[in-house]
Amino acid sequence: MPSIPFFMIQRIQSIWLLLTAGASIASIRFSFYSGVKENNVFERLNGQSHFVLMILSVAVALAALLALFMFKNRKLQKQITIVALLLQLITITVYILQLKHFTTGNFLLTSIFTLLIPLFLFLAWLGIRKDENLIKSMDRLR
């Protein structure tokens, strides 16, 4: 019988948390928006182009990975997931606030990485809650 891994990949929330971390790291490199800024310079808006965006994206990725390894403490895992969700909503807000510096431009297809992260975190939170409810129901049967 194989040994138990560091995290339980068979749990669906582990998949969602891994997808969150990957998408958050991808959002640092891939552009959210591109266009011409006020000073007539073409620029791409991504996590590398703005310090606050980089810090927030890395924080969301680290929080997702931390939550992934907290599978034995579901309450803490759920709290970390909520914090990561709030951080990602702040990240999206900062992206939108940065758009006012552009005179023309458009959203890129790779902005989907940034926009899917809240969905992944919400689905992970639902999976953790489902596990908690399953454990509670098993405790009631004993």
Tokens of 103: 């005179």
Give the predicted TM-score (pTM) of the model. Answer: 0.86
- pLDDT of 139 strictly over 80: no
d(CA 54, CA 57): 5
For residue 30, the SS3 value is: coil
- pLDDT of 74 strictly over 90: no
Strand segments, DSSP code E, in the chain are: 33-37, 42-45, 102-107
CB atoms within 10 A of CB 26: 19
- The pLDDT assigned to 1 comes to 44
- pLDDT of 98 strictly over 90: yes
Q: Are 128 and 78 in contact (CB under 8 A)?
A: yes
Q: What is the pLDDT of residues 2-25, one digit of tens each?
A: 454 554 556 888 999 999 999 999
Domain extent listing, the chain: 12-132
Q: Are 49 and 55 in contact (CB under 8 A)?
A: no
